[in-house]
Amino acid sequence: MKSLNTKDKEFYQRHLILDGFGIAAQQKLKSSSVLVVGAGGLGCPALQYLVSAGVGRVGIIDDDVVEMSNLQRQTLYFADDLGKSKAETAAKKLAQHNPNVVIEPHCQRLKQQNITKIFDMYDVVVDGSDNFETRYLVNDACVILNKPLVFGAIFKFSGQLSVFNFKNGPTYRCLFPNPPSAEALPPCEEAGVLGVLPGIIGSMQALEAIKIITGIGEVMSGRVLLFDALGQKFNELKLSPVKKNQEIEVIEEMDPLTFCNHSEHSEVPEIIELSPRDFLEMYNSNPHINVIDVRESWERDIEHIQPSLHIPLGDFFDSTVADALPDELSENIVVYCKAGVRSFDACRVLMELGYKKIYNLEGGMLRWNSESMPLII
């Protein structure tokens, strides 16, 4: 265990006087190492708080350069950083903020050939990547090397957080056994993302890494935190480990051109955003459509579309949810919530369960009411 010097004690003074933290926890941080995958929207806040907290050695892996569109949410970079390496630029600025921490930039792309060598150098991995190819690659390497993985993801107005592969807990493949189609979940450059959202999720990723290292608090293993930015609401889902997903022995090579792509004859579903008016027209022509409300009971009590089935989002990660869903995987299912965020998460679960025709009511009840749509259809 590394001891604290005079500069450390001055820099981390607020930690040292904190009940339940103190010198012992700070020494654990100084003696530890964390690798952050991706120095983008999630990586920037995670890196800033990990370095500020005093993690002894922090690695940054990213082969990208700073672009103008990054500045809306990637707070480590400025206009005069355009065209520069993200990993190197972030490392320089973080070192200026806390010279007591060793910062190690890796200006390369993670691949099957280099991932285990890089990951083996660090105690904890924080995943700030923005594509499924990298997420599965990161997960599998962490399972093989037995490294705790702090997961974060953002999409439009929603975010997710969990810790995988921690003390025999679930892995990323326990949440998403297979990647969705590229059309179902487009990247943020196509779908957009609220600029403040990665700051919230990335900061919480740093918190989970600190908890893993120091042993304080309760780590988010076996739980998935869902954040709805529009409603300023958190939902928590329970996740159980699947044994085969904890026993990965080989990292398979993943082709980025085909990993999330499927042929035109593929039956892999996509989540279709449906406007209130289009939904009403569809329902009028086919009243046997399954409509599911994923809001909480108190929200439904205020108002809801009739007829509709009520399955709160939290129930979607319960093994018994299949009992409440349609028997035929080919049936049309329209899902709605308050603003279209929670319903999208439910659609992702339905997609994993094999349903083929999944629709998300765009804008949820907020848009439904703004367009004066009827509650009884």
- List residues with catalytic annotation: 188, 337
HEC per residue, 32-83: CEEEEECCCCCHHHHHHHHHHHCCCEEEEECCCECCHHHHHCCCCCCHHHCC
Which amino acid makes up residue 16? Answer: L
Which amino acid makes up residue 341? Answer: V
Residues 6+ apart with CB under 8 A from 372: none
**Pairwise CA distance, residues 320 & 367, whole Å:** 31
Region of 363 on the Ramachandran plot (φ > 0 left; ψ -120 to 50 alpha; else beta): left
| C-beta of residue 247 within 8 angstroms of C-beta of residue 255 | no
Handedness of CA 313, 315, 318, 324 (dihedral sign): negative
Q: Are strands 233-238 and 332-336 parallel, antiparallel or unpaired?
A: unpaired
Residues 6+ apart with CB under 8 A from 338: 228, 230, 231, 295, 299, 364, 365, 366
| C-beta of residue 189 within 8 angstroms of C-beta of residue 251 | no
**Pairwise CA distance, residues 321 & 143, whole Å:** 28
Q: Are strands 357-361 and 332-336 parallel, antiparallel or unpaired?
A: parallel
> In the structure encoding, which two tokens stand for residue 230, read together?
């529009």
Instruction: Count CB atoms within 10 A of the CB of residue 324.
Output: 13
| C-beta of residue 364 within 8 angstroms of C-beta of residue 291 | no
